[in-house]
Amino acid sequence: MELSAFPGFLSMICDRFTVLATFFMVLALVFDYMKRRKCQNYPPGPRGFPFFGNSLQVDLNNPHLSFAKLWKEYGSVVSIQLGWTNTVILNGYEALKQALVKKSEDFADRPNLAIYEDFFKRAGEGIVFAKYGRWWKEQRKFSLLTLRNFGLRKKSLETRIVEEAGFLNKEFENAKGRPFDPHFYLSCATSNIICSIVFGERFGYQDKTYLEFLNVFDEIFELEGGFWGQLLNTFPFIRHFPGPHNKIFENQNKAVEFVQEKVMEHKKQWDPNEPRDFIDAFLTEQEKMKHEPQTSFLETNLLGTLFDLFAAGTETTSTTLRWGLLFMVLYPNVQSKVQGEIDSVIGKERKPILEDREEMPYTNAVIHETQRLGNIVPNSLPHQTYRDTEVMGYTIPKGTTIIPNLSSALFDENVWSTPHQFNPGHFLNSEGSFVRPEAFIPFSAGRRVCLGEQLAKTELFLFFTSMLQQFTFHLPENEPRPNYTESKFGITLSPRAYRLCVKLR
Protein backbone atom coordinates (compact mmCIF):
# COMPACT_ATOMS: atom_id res chain seq x y z
CA MET A 1 0.00 0.00 0.00
CA GLU A 2 1.31 3.41 -0.99
CA LEU A 3 1.83 5.83 1.85
CA SER A 4 -0.52 8.36 0.24
CA ALA A 5 -3.37 5.81 0.39
CA PHE A 6 -2.93 5.05 4.12
CA PRO A 7 -5.05 7.96 5.46
CA GLY A 8 -7.97 6.87 3.31
CA PHE A 9 -7.61 3.27 4.47
CA LEU A 10 -7.46 4.38 8.13
CA SER A 11 -10.55 6.52 7.60
CA MET A 12 -12.42 3.55 6.12
CA ILE A 13 -11.48 1.36 9.11
CA CYS A 14 -12.65 4.06 11.55
CA ASP A 15 -15.92 4.46 9.67
CA ARG A 16 -16.58 0.73 9.78
CA PHE A 17 -15.67 0.57 13.45
CA THR A 18 -18.07 3.44 14.16
CA VAL A 19 -20.85 1.69 12.27
CA LEU A 20 -20.16 -1.57 14.11
CA ALA A 21 -20.02 0.16 17.50
CA THR A 22 -23.24 2.00 16.75
CA PHE A 23 -24.91 -1.25 15.71
CA PHE A 24 -23.94 -3.01 18.94
CA MET A 25 -24.95 0.01 21.03
CA VAL A 26 -28.39 0.09 19.39
CA LEU A 27 -28.67 -3.68 19.86
CA ALA A 28 -27.77 -3.34 23.55
CA LEU A 29 -30.30 -0.54 24.03
CA VAL A 30 -33.03 -2.61 22.33
CA PHE A 31 -32.15 -5.58 24.56
CA ASP A 32 -32.16 -3.30 27.60
CA TYR A 33 -35.57 -1.95 26.58
CA MET A 34 -36.94 -5.47 26.16
CA LYS A 35 -35.71 -6.40 29.62
CA ARG A 36 -37.43 -3.35 31.06
CA ARG A 37 -40.83 -3.88 29.47
CA LYS A 38 -43.47 -4.32 32.13
CA CYS A 39 -46.88 -5.92 32.06
CA GLN A 40 -50.01 -3.86 32.45
CA ASN A 41 -50.89 -2.83 36.00
CA TYR A 42 -47.31 -3.39 37.17
CA PRO A 43 -46.46 -1.69 40.49
CA PRO A 44 -45.17 1.92 40.33
CA GLY A 45 -41.58 2.86 41.00
CA PRO A 46 -38.75 5.28 40.18
CA ARG A 47 -37.46 5.60 36.63
CA GLY A 48 -34.16 3.80 36.17
CA PHE A 49 -31.08 4.23 34.03
CA PRO A 50 -30.19 2.07 31.00
CA PHE A 51 -28.31 -1.09 32.01
CA PHE A 52 -28.02 -0.01 35.68
CA GLY A 53 -31.73 0.21 36.41
CA ASN A 54 -32.24 1.69 39.88
CA SER A 55 -29.04 0.29 41.36
CA LEU A 56 -27.48 3.77 41.47
CA GLN A 57 -30.52 5.03 43.42
CA VAL A 58 -30.29 2.40 46.17
CA ASP A 59 -27.71 2.69 48.95
CA LEU A 60 -26.17 -0.79 48.87
CA ASN A 61 -24.61 -0.16 52.29
CA ASN A 62 -28.04 0.50 53.81
CA PRO A 63 -30.72 -0.67 51.34
CA HIS A 64 -33.38 -0.86 54.06
CA LEU A 65 -33.15 2.94 54.44
CA SER A 66 -33.55 3.42 50.68
CA PHE A 67 -36.56 1.11 50.69
CA ALA A 68 -38.13 3.11 53.52
CA LYS A 69 -37.96 6.25 51.35
CA LEU A 70 -39.47 4.42 48.38
CA TRP A 71 -42.30 3.19 50.61
CA LYS A 72 -43.23 6.75 51.57
CA GLU A 73 -43.02 7.95 47.96
CA TYR A 74 -44.65 5.10 46.02
CA GLY A 75 -46.73 3.15 48.53
CA SER A 76 -47.05 -0.42 49.74
CA VAL A 77 -45.96 -2.14 46.50
CA VAL A 78 -42.95 -0.60 44.73
CA SER A 79 -41.11 -1.80 41.62
CA ILE A 80 -37.41 -1.24 40.99
CA GLN A 81 -34.87 -2.78 38.67
CA LEU A 82 -31.47 -3.83 39.97
CA GLY A 83 -29.39 -4.23 36.84
CA TRP A 84 -31.75 -6.29 34.70
CA THR A 85 -33.50 -7.96 37.62
CA ASN A 86 -37.14 -6.95 37.98
CA THR A 87 -37.74 -6.50 41.70
CA VAL A 88 -40.82 -5.65 43.76
CA ILE A 89 -40.63 -4.37 47.34
CA LEU A 90 -43.53 -5.18 49.67
CA ASN A 91 -44.14 -2.55 52.35
CA GLY A 92 -46.49 -2.47 55.33
CA TYR A 93 -48.09 -5.36 57.15
CA GLU A 94 -51.16 -5.58 54.91
CA ALA A 95 -49.10 -6.07 51.73
CA LEU A 96 -46.77 -8.53 53.47
CA LYS A 97 -49.67 -10.52 54.88
CA GLN A 98 -51.50 -10.65 51.56
CA ALA A 99 -48.40 -11.91 49.73
CA LEU A 100 -46.60 -14.11 52.25
CA VAL A 101 -49.59 -15.56 54.10
CA LYS A 102 -52.73 -15.39 51.96
CA LYS A 103 -50.85 -16.14 48.72
CA SER A 104 -47.96 -18.01 50.29
CA GLU A 105 -47.37 -20.44 47.42
CA ASP A 106 -47.38 -17.65 44.82
CA PHE A 107 -44.45 -16.02 46.65
CA ALA A 108 -42.66 -19.15 47.89
CA ASP A 109 -39.88 -19.43 45.29
CA ARG A 110 -36.29 -18.16 45.54
CA PRO A 111 -34.34 -16.24 42.88
CA ASN A 112 -30.95 -17.34 41.58
CA LEU A 113 -28.22 -15.38 43.37
CA ALA A 114 -24.72 -15.06 41.94
CA ILE A 115 -23.05 -15.11 45.35
CA TYR A 116 -24.21 -18.71 45.89
CA GLU A 117 -23.58 -20.15 42.43
CA ASP A 118 -20.28 -21.86 43.33
CA PHE A 119 -21.41 -22.64 46.87
CA PHE A 120 -24.42 -24.62 45.62
CA LYS A 121 -22.17 -26.69 43.34
CA ARG A 122 -20.21 -27.86 46.40
CA ALA A 123 -22.88 -27.90 49.10
CA GLY A 124 -26.23 -28.13 47.37
CA GLU A 125 -29.10 -25.70 47.81
CA GLY A 126 -29.96 -26.84 51.33
CA ILE A 127 -33.32 -25.54 52.57
CA VAL A 128 -33.19 -21.76 52.82
CA PHE A 129 -32.31 -20.97 49.19
CA ALA A 130 -33.72 -24.09 47.54
CA LYS A 131 -36.17 -23.49 44.70
CA TYR A 132 -39.77 -24.13 45.69
CA GLY A 133 -40.89 -27.65 44.86
CA ARG A 134 -40.78 -31.28 45.98
CA TRP A 135 -37.14 -31.22 47.07
CA TRP A 136 -37.66 -28.18 49.27
CA LYS A 137 -40.85 -29.58 50.82
CA GLU A 138 -39.15 -32.93 51.51
CA GLN A 139 -36.09 -31.37 53.13
CA ARG A 140 -37.99 -28.81 55.20
CA LYS A 141 -40.36 -31.46 56.56
CA PHE A 142 -37.46 -33.77 57.42
CA SER A 143 -35.46 -30.98 59.04
CA LEU A 144 -38.30 -29.71 61.21
CA LEU A 145 -39.15 -33.25 62.36
CA THR A 146 -35.52 -34.14 63.08
CA LEU A 147 -34.84 -30.92 64.97
CA ARG A 148 -37.92 -31.60 67.08
CA ASN A 149 -36.81 -35.15 67.80
CA PHE A 150 -33.28 -34.29 68.82
CA GLY A 151 -34.41 -31.28 70.78
CA LEU A 152 -36.49 -33.53 73.04
CA ARG A 153 -34.31 -36.63 73.29
CA LYS A 154 -32.40 -37.67 76.40
CA LYS A 155 -31.46 -34.17 77.54
CA SER A 156 -34.16 -31.67 76.68
CA LEU A 157 -33.40 -28.66 74.52
CA GLU A 158 -34.37 -26.42 77.42
CA THR A 159 -31.85 -28.10 79.70
CA ARG A 160 -29.12 -27.71 77.05
CA ILE A 161 -29.77 -23.99 76.74
CA VAL A 162 -29.77 -23.41 80.51
CA GLU A 163 -26.54 -25.40 80.78
CA GLU A 164 -24.95 -23.36 77.98
CA ALA A 165 -26.12 -20.16 79.68
CA GLY A 166 -24.05 -21.26 82.66
CA PHE A 167 -20.94 -21.52 80.46
CA LEU A 168 -21.70 -18.10 78.98
CA ASN A 169 -22.14 -16.50 82.41
CA LYS A 170 -18.84 -18.00 83.51
CA GLU A 171 -17.07 -16.27 80.62
CA PHE A 172 -18.70 -12.97 81.61
CA GLU A 173 -17.65 -13.49 85.23
CA ASN A 174 -14.05 -14.13 84.15
CA ALA A 175 -13.92 -10.58 82.79
CA LYS A 176 -13.86 -9.48 86.48
CA GLY A 177 -15.63 -6.23 85.74
CA ARG A 178 -13.27 -5.17 82.95
CA PRO A 179 -14.74 -3.82 79.69
CA PHE A 180 -15.25 -6.43 76.94
CA ASP A 181 -17.11 -6.95 73.69
CA PRO A 182 -19.78 -9.66 74.19
CA HIS A 183 -20.05 -10.45 70.45
CA PHE A 184 -18.20 -13.76 70.18
CA TYR A 185 -19.23 -15.03 73.60
CA LEU A 186 -22.86 -14.73 72.52
CA SER A 187 -22.10 -16.32 69.14
CA CYS A 188 -20.37 -19.25 70.85
CA ALA A 189 -23.29 -19.77 73.23
CA THR A 190 -26.06 -19.71 70.63
CA SER A 191 -24.15 -21.72 68.03
CA ASN A 192 -23.35 -24.40 70.60
CA ILE A 193 -27.06 -25.16 70.91
CA ILE A 194 -27.51 -25.88 67.21
CA CYS A 195 -24.11 -27.63 67.13
CA SER A 196 -25.28 -30.05 69.83
CA ILE A 197 -28.28 -30.92 67.66
CA VAL A 198 -26.66 -31.16 64.21
CA PHE A 199 -23.08 -32.19 65.12
CA GLY A 200 -23.81 -33.94 68.41
CA GLU A 201 -21.26 -31.85 70.32
CA ARG A 202 -20.60 -28.43 71.79
CA PHE A 203 -17.32 -26.53 71.54
CA GLY A 204 -15.24 -24.73 74.13
CA TYR A 205 -15.12 -20.95 74.02
CA GLN A 206 -11.35 -21.12 73.47
CA ASP A 207 -11.43 -23.82 70.76
CA LYS A 208 -9.29 -22.23 67.99
CA THR A 209 -10.81 -24.21 65.12
CA TYR A 210 -14.33 -23.42 66.28
CA LEU A 211 -13.56 -19.73 66.83
CA GLU A 212 -12.04 -19.52 63.36
CA PHE A 213 -15.21 -21.03 61.90
CA LEU A 214 -17.37 -18.54 63.81
CA ASN A 215 -15.21 -15.68 62.55
CA VAL A 216 -15.54 -16.92 58.96
CA PHE A 217 -19.27 -17.35 59.44
CA ASP A 218 -19.55 -13.81 60.83
CA GLU A 219 -17.71 -12.42 57.81
CA ILE A 220 -19.95 -14.39 55.45
CA PHE A 221 -23.06 -12.75 56.88
CA GLU A 222 -21.52 -9.30 56.70
CA LEU A 223 -20.12 -9.63 53.15
CA GLU A 224 -22.97 -11.54 51.50
CA GLY A 225 -25.60 -9.07 52.63
CA GLY A 226 -23.37 -6.00 52.40
CA PHE A 227 -22.26 -3.79 49.53
CA TRP A 228 -20.13 -6.31 47.63
CA GLY A 229 -22.59 -9.17 47.92
CA GLN A 230 -25.44 -7.03 46.62
CA LEU A 231 -23.28 -5.59 43.85
CA LEU A 232 -22.34 -9.11 42.77
CA ASN A 233 -25.98 -10.21 42.69
CA THR A 234 -26.88 -7.12 40.64
CA PHE A 235 -23.99 -7.47 38.18
CA PRO A 236 -22.94 -11.16 38.24
CA PHE A 237 -20.18 -10.68 35.64
CA ILE A 238 -17.93 -8.97 38.23
CA ARG A 239 -17.31 -12.36 39.83
CA HIS A 240 -14.76 -12.97 37.05
CA PHE A 241 -12.68 -9.98 38.13
CA PRO A 242 -10.41 -9.52 41.16
CA GLY A 243 -11.78 -7.51 44.07
CA PRO A 244 -13.05 -7.62 47.67
CA HIS A 245 -16.06 -9.69 46.59
CA ASN A 246 -13.79 -12.73 46.18
CA LYS A 247 -13.50 -12.87 49.98
CA ILE A 248 -17.10 -14.12 49.91
CA PHE A 249 -16.12 -17.21 47.92
CA GLU A 250 -13.00 -17.84 50.05
CA ASN A 251 -15.08 -17.85 53.24
CA GLN A 252 -17.77 -20.03 51.72
CA ASN A 253 -15.12 -22.61 50.84
CA LYS A 254 -13.74 -22.54 54.40
CA ALA A 255 -17.24 -23.04 55.82
CA VAL A 256 -17.91 -25.99 53.50
CA GLU A 257 -14.59 -27.60 54.50
CA PHE A 258 -15.47 -27.33 58.21
CA VAL A 259 -18.88 -28.96 57.68
CA GLN A 260 -17.44 -31.62 55.34
CA GLU A 261 -14.99 -32.64 58.03
CA LYS A 262 -17.83 -33.11 60.53
CA VAL A 263 -19.75 -35.29 58.06
CA MET A 264 -16.67 -37.45 57.41
CA GLU A 265 -16.16 -37.92 61.15
CA HIS A 266 -19.77 -39.04 61.50
CA LYS A 267 -19.51 -41.54 58.68
CA LYS A 268 -16.73 -43.39 60.54
CA GLN A 269 -18.95 -43.99 63.60
CA TRP A 270 -22.39 -43.91 62.04
CA ASP A 271 -24.88 -46.55 63.21
CA PRO A 272 -28.17 -46.37 61.25
CA ASN A 273 -29.98 -47.96 64.21
CA GLU A 274 -28.73 -45.38 66.73
CA PRO A 275 -28.69 -41.90 65.20
CA ARG A 276 -26.97 -39.46 67.55
CA ASP A 277 -27.80 -36.18 65.86
CA PHE A 278 -29.06 -34.52 62.67
CA ILE A 279 -26.14 -35.74 60.51
CA ASP A 280 -26.71 -39.35 61.54
CA ALA A 281 -30.43 -39.01 60.88
CA PHE A 282 -29.77 -37.62 57.41
CA LEU A 283 -27.28 -40.39 56.58
CA THR A 284 -29.85 -42.97 57.70
CA GLU A 285 -32.52 -41.41 55.48
CA GLN A 286 -30.02 -41.21 52.61
CA GLU A 287 -29.38 -44.94 52.93
CA LYS A 288 -33.12 -45.68 52.84
CA MET A 289 -33.63 -43.52 49.75
CA LYS A 290 -30.49 -44.50 47.80
CA HIS A 291 -32.47 -46.36 45.13
CA GLU A 292 -34.94 -43.50 44.64
CA PRO A 293 -33.76 -41.60 41.52
CA GLN A 294 -35.47 -38.32 42.48
CA THR A 295 -34.36 -38.27 46.11
CA SER A 296 -33.23 -35.03 47.70
CA PHE A 297 -31.20 -36.92 50.30
CA LEU A 298 -27.80 -36.38 48.70
CA GLU A 299 -24.55 -35.67 50.52
CA THR A 300 -24.10 -32.31 48.78
CA ASN A 301 -27.56 -31.33 49.97
CA LEU A 302 -26.64 -32.38 53.50
CA LEU A 303 -23.77 -29.87 53.53
CA GLY A 304 -26.04 -27.04 52.41
CA THR A 305 -28.72 -28.00 54.93
CA LEU A 306 -26.21 -28.09 57.79
CA PHE A 307 -24.97 -24.65 56.82
CA ASP A 308 -28.56 -23.34 56.74
CA LEU A 309 -29.39 -24.83 60.13
CA PHE A 310 -26.25 -23.38 61.64
CA ALA A 311 -27.15 -19.97 60.21
CA ALA A 312 -30.77 -20.18 61.38
CA GLY A 313 -29.73 -21.30 64.85
CA THR A 314 -26.85 -18.90 65.42
CA GLU A 315 -26.72 -15.52 63.72
CA THR A 316 -30.17 -14.02 64.30
CA THR A 317 -30.29 -15.15 67.94
CA SER A 318 -26.80 -13.96 68.86
CA THR A 319 -27.40 -10.64 67.08
CA THR A 320 -30.68 -10.18 68.96
CA LEU A 321 -28.92 -10.81 72.27
CA ARG A 322 -26.26 -8.24 71.33
CA TRP A 323 -29.02 -5.72 70.74
CA GLY A 324 -30.63 -6.78 74.01
CA LEU A 325 -27.54 -6.14 76.11
CA LEU A 326 -26.97 -2.84 74.32
CA PHE A 327 -30.50 -1.68 75.17
CA MET A 328 -30.01 -2.78 78.80
CA VAL A 329 -26.89 -0.62 79.27
CA LEU A 330 -28.56 2.29 77.47
CA TYR A 331 -31.78 1.96 79.51
CA PRO A 332 -30.74 0.89 83.04
CA ASN A 333 -34.24 1.55 84.39
CA VAL A 334 -35.59 -1.11 82.02
CA GLN A 335 -32.83 -3.47 83.11
CA SER A 336 -33.75 -2.93 86.77
CA LYS A 337 -37.41 -3.63 86.08
CA VAL A 338 -36.54 -6.87 84.25
CA GLN A 339 -34.35 -7.95 87.17
CA GLY A 340 -37.15 -7.16 89.60
CA GLU A 341 -39.49 -9.44 87.67
CA ILE A 342 -36.83 -12.18 87.51
CA ASP A 343 -36.31 -11.97 91.29
CA SER A 344 -40.07 -12.09 91.89
CA VAL A 345 -40.87 -15.04 89.61
CA ILE A 346 -37.64 -17.08 89.49
CA GLY A 347 -35.58 -15.83 92.42
CA LYS A 348 -31.80 -15.60 92.54
CA GLU A 349 -30.98 -19.27 93.02
CA ARG A 350 -33.25 -21.35 90.77
CA LYS A 351 -32.36 -21.45 87.07
CA PRO A 352 -34.93 -20.10 84.61
CA ILE A 353 -37.27 -22.48 82.80
CA LEU A 354 -39.41 -21.81 79.75
CA GLU A 355 -42.62 -22.00 81.78
CA ASP A 356 -41.54 -18.83 83.61
CA ARG A 357 -42.15 -16.81 80.46
CA GLU A 358 -45.93 -16.87 80.99
CA GLU A 359 -45.46 -15.24 84.40
CA MET A 360 -43.03 -12.58 83.16
CA PRO A 361 -44.90 -10.25 80.79
CA TYR A 362 -42.48 -7.34 81.16
CA THR A 363 -39.37 -9.41 80.41
CA ASN A 364 -41.18 -10.98 77.47
CA ALA A 365 -42.13 -7.52 76.22
CA VAL A 366 -38.51 -6.32 76.50
CA ILE A 367 -37.28 -9.27 74.42
CA HIS A 368 -39.92 -8.64 71.75
CA GLU A 369 -39.18 -4.92 71.69
CA THR A 370 -35.49 -5.76 71.24
CA GLN A 371 -36.40 -7.83 68.19
CA ARG A 372 -38.62 -5.08 66.83
CA LEU A 373 -36.31 -2.08 67.26
CA GLY A 374 -33.18 -4.14 66.56
CA ASN A 375 -34.78 -4.96 63.21
CA ILE A 376 -32.55 -8.00 62.84
CA VAL A 377 -33.48 -9.03 59.28
CA PRO A 378 -34.88 -5.79 57.80
CA ASN A 379 -35.47 -7.07 54.25
CA SER A 380 -35.93 -10.75 55.00
CA LEU A 381 -34.38 -13.01 52.36
CA PRO A 382 -35.43 -12.45 48.74
CA HIS A 383 -38.43 -14.37 47.45
CA GLN A 384 -39.49 -14.98 43.86
CA THR A 385 -42.97 -15.34 42.42
CA TYR A 386 -43.77 -18.97 41.64
CA ARG A 387 -46.51 -18.00 39.17
CA ASP A 388 -48.20 -14.88 37.82
CA THR A 389 -50.07 -13.29 40.71
CA GLU A 390 -51.55 -10.13 42.17
CA VAL A 391 -50.98 -8.23 45.40
CA MET A 392 -52.77 -5.10 46.60
CA GLY A 393 -54.36 -4.82 43.15
CA TYR A 394 -51.06 -4.90 41.20
CA THR A 395 -50.00 -7.59 38.72
CA ILE A 396 -46.67 -9.31 39.37
CA PRO A 397 -45.37 -11.80 36.74
CA LYS A 398 -43.83 -15.17 37.48
CA GLY A 399 -40.08 -15.00 38.17
CA THR A 400 -40.10 -11.52 39.72
CA THR A 401 -37.73 -11.04 42.65
CA ILE A 402 -39.62 -10.02 45.80
CA ILE A 403 -38.12 -8.14 48.76
CA PRO A 404 -40.37 -8.38 51.84
CA ASN A 405 -39.53 -5.16 53.69
CA LEU A 406 -40.06 -6.45 57.23
CA SER A 407 -38.88 -3.09 58.62
CA SER A 408 -42.01 -1.49 57.23
CA ALA A 409 -44.16 -3.72 59.47
CA LEU A 410 -41.93 -3.35 62.52
CA PHE A 411 -41.86 0.46 62.24
CA ASP A 412 -45.36 1.06 60.90
CA GLU A 413 -46.66 4.27 62.51
CA ASN A 414 -50.21 2.93 62.24
CA VAL A 415 -49.33 0.03 64.54
CA TRP A 416 -46.66 1.23 66.98
CA SER A 417 -47.16 4.32 69.17
CA THR A 418 -43.44 5.22 69.24
CA PRO A 419 -41.96 3.18 66.38
CA HIS A 420 -38.43 4.64 66.55
CA GLN A 421 -38.00 4.44 70.32
CA PHE A 422 -37.24 1.55 72.65
CA ASN A 423 -40.59 1.05 74.34
CA PRO A 424 -41.55 -2.33 75.88
CA GLY A 425 -45.04 -0.88 76.29
CA HIS A 426 -45.64 -1.77 72.64
CA PHE A 427 -46.18 -5.34 73.87
CA LEU A 428 -48.17 -4.64 77.05
CA ASN A 429 -51.84 -3.80 77.44
CA SER A 430 -53.32 -1.40 79.99
CA GLU A 431 -53.35 -4.18 82.59
CA GLY A 432 -49.66 -5.00 82.10
CA SER A 433 -50.32 -8.29 80.33
CA PHE A 434 -48.24 -9.32 77.34
CA VAL A 435 -49.77 -8.78 73.89
CA ARG A 436 -48.27 -9.45 70.49
CA PRO A 437 -49.48 -7.17 67.67
CA GLU A 438 -50.15 -9.00 64.42
CA ALA A 439 -47.62 -6.80 62.60
CA PHE A 440 -44.75 -8.24 64.67
CA ILE A 441 -43.11 -10.52 62.06
CA PRO A 442 -39.32 -10.48 62.64
CA PHE A 443 -39.10 -14.11 61.44
CA SER A 444 -41.04 -13.31 58.24
CA ALA A 445 -44.25 -15.27 57.56
CA GLY A 446 -45.81 -17.89 55.30
CA ARG A 447 -44.13 -20.92 53.77
CA ARG A 448 -40.64 -19.44 54.02
CA VAL A 449 -40.92 -18.41 57.66
CA CYS A 450 -37.59 -18.81 59.48
CA LEU A 451 -36.77 -22.46 60.11
CA GLY A 452 -35.24 -21.65 63.51
CA GLU A 453 -38.08 -19.50 64.89
CA GLN A 454 -39.09 -21.79 67.76
CA LEU A 455 -35.49 -22.49 68.71
CA ALA A 456 -34.71 -18.76 68.67
CA LYS A 457 -37.67 -17.88 70.89
CA THR A 458 -36.63 -20.46 73.47
CA GLU A 459 -32.99 -19.38 73.42
CA LEU A 460 -33.78 -15.67 73.65
CA PHE A 461 -35.84 -16.07 76.80
CA LEU A 462 -33.54 -18.50 78.61
CA PHE A 463 -30.25 -16.79 77.72
CA PHE A 464 -31.59 -13.29 78.41
CA THR A 465 -33.10 -14.13 81.80
CA SER A 466 -30.06 -16.19 82.83
CA MET A 467 -27.71 -13.27 82.11
CA LEU A 468 -29.80 -10.68 83.89
CA GLN A 469 -30.43 -12.98 86.82
CA GLN A 470 -26.69 -13.17 87.46
CA PHE A 471 -25.37 -9.77 86.35
CA THR A 472 -26.03 -6.08 86.09
CA PHE A 473 -24.64 -4.69 82.83
CA HIS A 474 -23.31 -1.15 82.52
CA LEU A 475 -21.23 1.01 80.20
CA PRO A 476 -17.49 1.40 80.84
CA GLU A 477 -16.41 4.70 82.28
CA ASN A 478 -14.73 7.23 79.99
CA GLU A 479 -15.88 5.48 76.81
CA PRO A 480 -18.26 6.98 74.19
CA ARG A 481 -21.91 6.13 74.66
CA PRO A 482 -23.03 3.74 71.86
CA ASN A 483 -25.70 4.98 69.48
CA TYR A 484 -28.18 2.23 68.65
CA THR A 485 -29.25 4.02 65.46
CA GLU A 486 -25.77 3.39 64.01
CA SER A 487 -26.03 -0.21 62.85
CA LYS A 488 -24.10 -2.44 60.46
CA PHE A 489 -25.96 -3.95 57.50
CA GLY A 490 -25.28 -7.48 56.27
CA ILE A 491 -27.70 -10.36 55.94
CA THR A 492 -28.61 -9.28 59.47
CA LEU A 493 -28.65 -5.77 60.90
CA SER A 494 -26.27 -5.75 63.85
CA PRO A 495 -25.17 -3.07 66.32
CA ARG A 496 -21.80 -1.47 65.89
CA ALA A 497 -19.13 -3.03 68.12
CA TYR A 498 -19.46 -1.90 71.71
CA ARG A 499 -18.01 -2.83 75.09
CA LEU A 500 -19.71 -3.26 78.42
CA CYS A 501 -18.92 -4.26 81.99
CA VAL A 502 -20.68 -6.76 84.25
CA LYS A 503 -21.24 -6.76 87.98
CA LEU A 504 -22.37 -9.83 89.88
CA ARG A 505 -25.70 -9.29 91.57
CATH number for the domain that contains residue 196: 1.10.630.10
Which residues are within 8 A (CB) of 305 and not within 5 positions of it... i.e. 6 or more apart? 124, 126, 127, 139, 143, 282
Question: Structural domain of residue 138, as residue ranges?
Answer: 113-376+415-504
Neighbours of 355 (CB within 10 A): 8
Residue 79 lies in a domain: no
Any domain includes 231:
yes
pLDDT at 14: 62
Helix (H, G, I), strand (E, B) or coil at 391: strand
For 181-209, the pLDDT digits (tens) are 999 999 999 999 999 988 888 899 988 88
Who contacts 232 (Cβ-Cβ below 8 Å, separation ≥6)?
A: 114, 115, 238, 239, 245, 248
CA distance 252 to 250: 6
Q: 127 CB contacts (<8 Å, ≥6 apart)?
A: 136, 139, 140, 143, 304, 305, 308, 309, 451
Q: Is residue 105 part of a domain?
A: no
Kindly indicate the confidence band of residue 3, based on its pLDDT and cuts at 50, 70 and 90.
very low
The secondary structure element, H or E, covering residue 170 is helix 157-174
Residues 6 or more apart whose Cβ sits within 8 Å of residue 419? 410, 411, 412, 413
Hey, is 133 helix, strand or coil? Answer: coil
33, part of any domain? no
Task: Please check whether residue 387 lies inside any domain of the structure.
Answer: no
Q: Which pLDDT score, from 0 to 100, does residue 24 have?
A: 52
Q: What is the pLDDT of residues 466-495, one digit of tens each?
A: 999 999 999 999 888 998 888 888 888 999
337-394 residue pLDDT tens: 999 999 999 998 899 999 999 999 999 999 999 999 999 999 989 999 999 999 999 9
User: Is 343 among the domain residues?
Assistant: yes
| CA–centroid distance for 67 within its chain | 17
Contact 444, 312 (CB under 8 A): no
Q: In this structure, is residue 54 part of a structural domain?
A: no
Per-residue pLDDT reduced to its tens digit, 111-137: 998 888 888 888 888 888 899 999 899
Distant-in-sequence, close-in-space partners of 187: CB < 8 Å, separation ≥ 6: 214, 218, 314, 315, 318
**Burial, 227: exposed, middle or buried (Cβ in 10 Å; 0-12, 13-18, 19+)?**
middle
Round to whole Å and give the CA distance between 70 and 407: 13
Burial 7-37 (b: 16+ CB within 10 A, else e): eeeeeeeeeeeeeeeeeeeeeeeeebeeeee
pLDDT digits (tens, 9 = 90+) for 409-435: 999 988 999 999 999 999 999 999 999
Residue 372 has phi, psi (to 5 degrees) of -70, -55
Give yes or no for a contact between 318 and 459, defined as CB atoms under 8 angstroms apart. Answer: no
Residue 97 burial (CB count, 10 A) = 18
Q: Total structural domains in the chain?
A: 1
The answer as to whether 285 is a domain residue is yes
